[in-house]
């Protein structure tokens, strides 16, 4: 019976591992620029594309503080960070997907 309990405790929790991976990658999506913190997500990328013709705009950062930024510069940084993070996420997720049983942990 104790061996069965040990195996149950060592069981790999795929859902928890994926949640932890999502949290790690979400933390990597935060970028400091122009005195503000920006979350590198699709909505910010889309908004910055709308302002590509402007030299500077005022946007709210992730803490709802207005910041004057150069949209072209921020877009370049945001796209780079987003792609780096998504590539790392894909690699880490592929590693998690290989783990099938408790003996593989």
Give 44-71 pLDDT, tens digit per residue. 999 999 999 999 999 999 999 999 999 9
pLDDT category at 97 given cuts 50, 70, 90 is confident
Q: Which residue has the tokens 């790392």?
A: 88
Domain count, the chain: 1
pLDDT digits (tens, 9 = 90+) for 71-91: 999 999 999 999 999 999 999
Look up the domain containing 43 and give its range. Answer: 2-104
Q: Are 78 and 38 in contact (CB under 8 A)?
A: yes
């Amino acid at each position: 019976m104790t061996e069965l309990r040990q195996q149950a405790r060592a069981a790999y929790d795929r859902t928890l591992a994926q949640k932890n991976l999502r949290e790690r990658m979400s933390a990597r999506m935060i970028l400091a620029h122009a005195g503000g913190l920006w979350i590198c997500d699709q909505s910010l990328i889309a908004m910055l594309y709308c302002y590509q013709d402007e030299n500077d705009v005022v946007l709210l950062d992730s803490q709802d503080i207005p910041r004057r930024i150069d949209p072209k510069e921020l877009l370049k940084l945001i796209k780079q960070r987003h792609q780096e993070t998504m590539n790392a996420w894909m690699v880490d997720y592929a590693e998690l997907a290989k783990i099938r049983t408790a003996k593989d942990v």
